[in-house]
Structure 1
Amino acid sequence: MKLHPLTLALLAASVVPAVFAAAPSDKVTPMTPDGVASYNNIRAEADFVKREVMIPMRDGTKLYTIMLMKKGTKNAPILLSRTPYNAAASAIRSNSQHISQLVPIMDVDYVEDNYIRVYQDLRGVHKSEGEFIGNRPLTGPLNSTGIDESTDAYDTIDWLVKNVPETNGNVGIIGSSYLGFTTLMAEINPHPALKAAAPQSPMVDGWMGDDWFHNGAFRNAVINYSVVQSTAKAESEGTATGPQDDYSRFLEAGSTGDYLKKWGFEHYPMLRKMTENPAYTEFWSLQAVDKILAKQPLKVPTMLIVGQWDQEDSYGAPAVYKAIEPKDKNNDMVSLVIGPWRHSGVNHYGYKLGALTFTGDTAKEFRVKYMKPFFDHHLKGTPDPKTPPVLTYATGENKWNVSSKWPMGTPKKLYVNDNMGLSFKPDSNAKAHDDYVADPAKPVPFVPRPINLNDSAQWRPWLVHDQRFASSRPDVLVYTSEVLEKPVHIMGAPLVNLFASTTGTDADWVVKLIDVYPNTTSEGYSQGYVGQEMTGFELAVGIEAFRGRYVHGFATPAPLTPGKVEHYQFALPNVDHVFQPGHKLMIQVQSSLFPLYDRNPQTYVDNIFWAKPQDYQKATMSVFHSSNIELPIVK
């Protein structure tokens, strides 16, 4: 393989430690300047090679790329990640002369096994050239430049296989969240050298159920993210709001638009794209990666991975699986993995989440037993590991399940009924209803106050927080089953069928499916909870929101008719969960989840982002006993 002279120079410079000039002949004095121009902290004894290069794209823009490999690596596959989150920092866990201590935990097994690990900054962020466009649309109706994350991935892979002498020419791509999005984009018109992909918690459809909105309800948590990501090449420190309770901060500001104005963010392009496009028009639908992939041939073996309690991107991986699995005629090209994790939890320690403790490090177990063999087979030619078509972790029972398809369960309706009960038999009086008053001035918090949306300790496990803090509120309806006499095992996405009305002209509906633990004694290791008092614990198995104005079409919002019963149908996140004997099933219904989601004024306005103070009105909400959740039950 012939290398360009400049490439050889770059590679040589990156391998040889810096040579320090001889000490000056003159003696130091108290006034000798103490500054040193540079220091190479990679010493001669280091067991790895680090290279930093600027890879040119087809339009001439150069993207910063960092490569790490163990010394002596040869005939090696490349594992690539393309990130907006600082490639240089992402690639280095701690400064060390040993690569196993240098790289992130999830990379150790790869670099120790003859892999070349590569991270790259996307256009316009950190050390790369060009302009940053968040979730840059694919070339087509929304993008006429001919440049997108698919072409940049192609050009990057092309350069790597031609200019890295240690590679065997096979490339895999991996990454979580935004990196999951860039992983999927690389599979569109893929480079021939791209042999395997593992999108983790990918951003797929920001309106339907990933970061920006959920069924039309806006997620305030993305505001600070947008500010950080689109300021100063993604090097901003974000909103200087201090430690004040975000519940009070957002409530006092008024609408989310008023909040943006208060902090000077209303002109940020990334946020304007959201505030100016509150409905599911082609602005969003043409960007939806699952819809794009549904029209593409299936060329790259793909392992889709998501956490059961992913607080940011629970929608994307199952949506892509549904879109591309029908193309997998032999059931060996596409797999879906659902683990007992938070967002991106697959790449960290999987022992516990919030109050839940599992039987060992489930994340490492999965990475070693399933994910690395998947890459080894496709990139190194090792024997076929027979990757399961579907691999899910049954929470409540604590074991991995292998399945041939997803969902596995058969829908069975769980109805609300009189006396605030739940039953698999419908109420004889379906027209009966239960009421509550929703007051936008006193929205239901999504976790107990005080709330800090930027506090990772509060944010990461919020979906498994004990829901008893909400169940005692008068504006939350709580329906509970009798004590279970046998297990109820669900595998799939529970489907909400909410028949409800409001005295207002708009409404938000939040539904929670909850596993209620016995109020007698804490449960032990067999249920996955060690050293935690779980007596009476109300574990949210799934939580989702729906903005009422979209009941007749996500692209066509319209006012609700006061008093008219509407059928709101929407899915909860995909789960594999066992409700154990002695437990109870619970459903909670409410009209806010604040300040994670913006407040619905309950008076119809064209754009909720710019609702006025007088638009926020109390309303009486009625939930009818024909309402149910279709549970995907396996026997």
Structure 2
Amino acid sequence: MYNSILIDKKISIEMRDGTLLSGEIIRPGDGGKHPTILMLTPYNSDRVYGGSSYINILQTVQAGYNLAIVYVRGRFGSQGKYDLRSNQRIEGADCYDTIEWIASQSWCDGNIGMVGESALGTIQWKAARENPPHLKAIAPGLAGAPGERNPETTDTPVNLNIAISLLLILATDFLDKMDANGQDTEGVRWLLDQVRNDPSLAYNYLPLKDVPQFNFPGIRDLWNVCLGMGAGNKSSSEPFPFQDVKIPTLSVTSWYDPFARNSFRSFSKMIAEGGNKYAREHQHLLAGPWCHSKPQRVVGHIDFGPYADELGSKASAYLLSFFDKYLKGKDIILPAVRYFTMGRNTWHDASTWPLPQTDWQRFFLHSHGHANSCYGNGMLSRNEPENEPIDTYVYDPSHPVITAGGRGGIAENGFLYGPVDQIYVEQRNDVLCYTSSELSADIEVTGPVEVHLCASSSCKDTDFTAKLVDCYPDGRAYNVADGIVRAQYRNSFIKPELMKPGEIVEFVIRLGNTSQLFRAGHRIRVDITSSNFPTFDRNMNTGNPVGEDAEGIPALQTIYHQTGYASYIVLPVIPLN
């Protein structure tokens, strides 16, 4: 263990086009050569020093690693222009040049890995596809490969939580640069602080594209980019070339992270399409019970016990074991998959995902024609429906269903994410609840979950949401997984296809991956509605582009569960010994 550290807060790295990137190096104080872990980031290093990252600085350096924090173009002292729509190859080339510069330094032994979450995770995939000779492994957290946005990996509405949070993060550095150029930013900062303190000023405003607090040159452009992150964005939907990646990866994700589906897909795609046998056989995945955040014990309303937090989960230690194996060459056996089962609150290892013993079971939606609210007669069972009446509700964009937990974004914006009691949501008549009988034995659900929903609408475009819920004997009901689909993007992420009013369509709503033990005495519930606001922008039911409408149209929604039009949830049930 190395007990002293050296910090160089002012390094400058020249890119192939002459652009200089700024950064800092934290390394063991012995002055020797060590492997280096790189974080290439658009965010301030305070996020790392402040403990908001999966990696522990002191633990990493004491274990004999250098930690390099380098800022991407146009951010925090780095030259050039930062663009959210930056070409993958430009940022990838910067990664290549940065890695090879680090490898040439006297304090680096030539073995380099990368780590970081969210945007930092996406950047790692861009680096890996460029194959810099000294990059030996990456550990992207809370992010899958760039592009790869399609109905299988990404929710088709805009995640407003992420859009607003991202704008506020990026605006800080943008305004700092304006200050440096002698421009007055006091008024703009005051308006942005209003949204920071009360995000509803932004997400409640209609039309969404004209939020007054964002109506300034530069800020308006950033907002338009953020609003364009949903379906219809062709540039973010291009397939990623996994065949170009030839190194081991550790994908770190969590059950309540909005990017978890993409993380799982990237893991699977690397096993199937990685650039060589070595890469395909050395893929790893770590999935915990958290949100878009570092490991913590209490998430939402649930205390997941001592094995869920940073110390108990040993997430940082697991990361270091990964780098010990691939940067230091230590003989360490790492499982392909390590995941946390909620309800059991324990960690488990697996060789593949989904688990090889998975029993895919359909649970069908039933009712006597009034599944509205948790007080209705909606039922969930393994029996297929026969001739049953339809269920209907009115989705009014001016009165959307308010977010209650689920897959959180970059910042919480006043909302609690993760598992949250659904009592207030499930009392609404525009929420359909289908509940199983009391379970006579434990049921473990581990793997990807999806709902097949036969539905029609009185409008040409609308949204449908589905939520898997664990109902406790005392009446509490906690969300386990959720998903949403925008009707016009039901078949393609980039090619809209409006509905015909009244036409019955089978929607596939992907709820993502989870691992949940439903205890005996509990019930399994599926909630169906048409909004989850403000996590996602509300569909105004007009078919117009996001942000254009000042008014919406109420939609009469019809859910079918009968012969020929069965609606059901597919659960990956794991046999219990």
- Tell me the TM-score normalised to structure 1 length: 0.78
Q: Does 1:506 find its partner at 2:455?
A: no
Task: Decide whether aligned partners of structure 1 residues 167 and 261 sit closer, same or farther in structure 2, where only a CA change above 3 A counts.
Answer: closer
Aligned to 1:441: 398
Task: Decide whether aligned partners of structure 1 residues 243 and 118 sit closer, same or farther in structure 2, where only a CA change above 3 A counts.
Answer: closer
Aligned to 1:85: 43
Task: Decide whether aligned partners of structure 1 residues 342 and 104 sit closer, same or farther in structure 2, where only a CA change above 3 A counts.
Answer: closer
Deviation of 1:295 after TM superposition, in Å, equals 3.6
Structure 1 residues 185-334: aligned runs within 5 Å? 185-202=126-143, 204=145, 208=149, 214-219=155-160, 221-230=162-171, 232-233=173-174, 235=176, 239-241=192-194, 246-247=199-200, 250-251=203-204, 253-259=205-211, 263-264=215-216, 268-273=220-225, 275=227, 279-280=231-232, 282-286=234-238, 291-296=239-244, 298-310=245-257, 312-327=258-273, 329=277, 332-334=281-283
Task: Decide whether aligned partners of structure 1 residues 343 and 209 sit closer, same or farther in structure 2, where only a CA change above 3 A counts.
Answer: farther
Kept in 1, the 8 Å contact 2:144–2:265? The answer is no
Counterpart secondary structure, 1:188: helix
Question: 1:175-225, CA deviations, whole angstroms, 9 ceiling, x for partnerless residues?
Answer: 000111111211112211111111000154579489x97223452541342
Identity among equivalent pairs (%): 26
Bigger radius of gyration among the two: 1
Q: Does 1:48 find its partner at 2:5?
A: yes
Task: Decide whether aligned partners of structure 1 residues 629 and 601 sit closer, same or farther in structure 2, where only a CA change above 3 A counts.
Answer: same
Counterpart secondary structure, 1:380: coil
Q: Which amino acid aligns with 2:557?
A: M
Aligned to 2:538: 599
| Aligned pair partner of 2:519 in 580, 584, 590 | 580
Structure 1 residues 4-19: aligned runs within 5 Å? none
Aligned to 2:184: none
Q: Which amino acid aligns with 2:429?
A: P
Counterpart secondary structure, 1:370: helix
| Aligned pair partner of 2:112 in 168, 171, 181 | 171
Q: Which amino acid aligns with 1:484?
A: L
Counterpart secondary structure, 2:325: helix
Q: Does 1:426 find its partner at 2:381?
A: no
Kept in 1, the 8 Å contact 2:161–2:410? The answer is no
Q: Does 1:131 find its partner at 2:81?
A: yes
Task: Decide whether aligned partners of structure 1 residues 515 and 246 sit closer, same or farther in structure 2, where only a CA change above 3 A counts.
Answer: same
Counterparts of 1:109 and 1:262, CA distance in 2: 41
| Aligned pair partner of 1:393 in 340, 347, 350 | 340
Aligned to 2:179: none
Structure 1 residues 458-607: aligned runs within 5 Å? 458-459=414-415, 461-519=416-474, 536-605=475-544, 607=545
Question: 1:522-575, CA deviations, whole angstroms, 9 ceiling, x for partnerless residues?
Answer: xxxxxxxxxxxxxx2211111111111123433221332111111111311211
Counterpart secondary structure, 2:194: coil
Q: Does 1:609 find its partner at 2:561?
A: no
Question: 1:302-330, CA deviations, whole angstroms, 9 ceiling, x for partnerless residues?
Answer: 111101111x4223211211221114657
Q: Does 1:367 find its partner at 2:323?
A: no
Kept in 2, the 8 Å contact 1:293–1:320? The answer is no
Aligned to 1:153: 95
Task: Decide whether aligned partners of structure 1 residues 373 and 454 sit closer, same or farther in structure 2, where only a CA change above 3 A counts.
Answer: closer
- Tell me the TM-score normalised to structure 2 length: 0.86
Counterparts of 2:196 and 2:141, CA distance in 1: 32
Deviation of 1:47 after TM superposition, in Å, equals 3.2
Gaps of 5+ in 1: 1-45, 95-101, 140-147, 520-535
Question: 1:144-175, CA deviations, whole angstroms, 9 ceiling, x for partnerless residues?
Answer: xxxx2211111111111112x12211111000
Q: Which amino acid aligns with 2:401?
A: V
Counterpart secondary structure, 1:393: strand
Question: 1:29-73, CA deviations, whole angstroms, 9 ceiling, x for partnerless residues?
Answer: xxxxxxxxxxxxxxxxx9321112110011110111200123114
Question: 1:576-611, CA deviations, whole angstroms, 9 ceiling, x for partnerless residues?
Answer: 111111110011111111122222112333x13212
Deviation of 1:268 after TM superposition, in Å, equals 3.2
Gaps of 5+ in 2: 177-187, 368-376
Structure 1 residues 18-97: aligned runs within 5 Å? 47-51=4-8, 52-87=10-45, 89-93=46-50
Kept in 2, the 8 Å contact 1:514–1:542? The answer is yes
Between 563-572 and 275-284, the greater mean CA deviation after superposition: 275-284
Q: Which amino acid aligns with 2:127?
A: A
Counterparts of 1:566 and 1:547, CA distance in 2: 12
Question: 1:394-427, CA deviations, whole angstroms, 9 ceiling, x for partnerless residues?
Answer: 1111111111111123321111112300001111
Kept in 2, the 8 Å contact 1:208–1:215? The answer is no
Counterparts of 2:228 and 2:49, CA distance in 1: 38
Kept in 1, the 8 Å contact 2:150–2:493? The answer is no
Kept in 1, the 8 Å contact 2:299–2:418? The answer is no
Deviation of 1:270 after TM superposition, in Å, equals 3.5
* Alignment RMSD: 2.9
Counterparts of 2:411 and 2:144, CA distance in 1: 21
Aligned to 1:39: none
Task: Decide whether aligned partners of structure 1 residues 356 and 267 sit closer, same or farther in structure 2, where only a CA change above 3 A counts.
Answer: closer
Task: Decide whether aligned partners of structure 1 residues 248 and 153 sit closer, same or farther in structure 2, where only a CA change above 3 A counts.
Answer: closer
Figure out how many residues of one structure are paired with residues of the other and give that number: 537
